[in-house]
Amino acid sequence: MIHNVYFWLKENADEERFENGAKSLLDIDVVERGSVGKLAATPQRPVTDKSFHYHLSLQFNSIEDHNAYQQHPGHHAFVKSCESLWTRVVVYDSTPV
């Protein structure tokens, strides 16, 4: 299962705090692999959404692992520490085919 999260940060948000918090999620035991990235400087195209600031992608071996991640103290700590930094969050969850 793949958990993709897009973040829109507030103006003048502490990006270092956000990045460190987001990277800490990669160390949670049920996360198989993951990455944190910023909006890429690719050319504008009609299909490209360039409105977000950061992207988090986490891969889990099962829905159960994803659900455990949602309840993990590390996940809750990230949200508590960083939720004041963003204005919007959008999640896209998918299952590989």
Question: Sign of the CA dihedral 19, 21, 24, 30?
Answer: negative
pLDDT of residue 62: 97
Token pair listed for 6: 């897009």
- Which helix (H) or strand (E) is 4 found in, with range? strand 2-9
pLDDT of residue 64: 98
Q: What is 2-41+51-94's CATH number, 3.30.450.20, 3.40.50.300, 3.30.70.100, 3.30.70.120?
A: 3.30.70.100
The answer to whether the CB of 6 falls within 8 A of the CB of 52 is: yes
CA distances (Å), origin 10, targets 3, 19, 31, 95: 23, 14, 27, 31
pLDDT of residue 2: 98
User: Rounded to two decimals, what is the model's pTM?
Assistant: 0.95
> Per-residue pLDDT for the chain (97 aa), expressed as one digit of tens each?
999 999 999 999 999 999 999 999 999 999 999 999 999 999 999 999 999 999 999 999 999 999 999 999 999 999 999 999 999 999 999 999 9
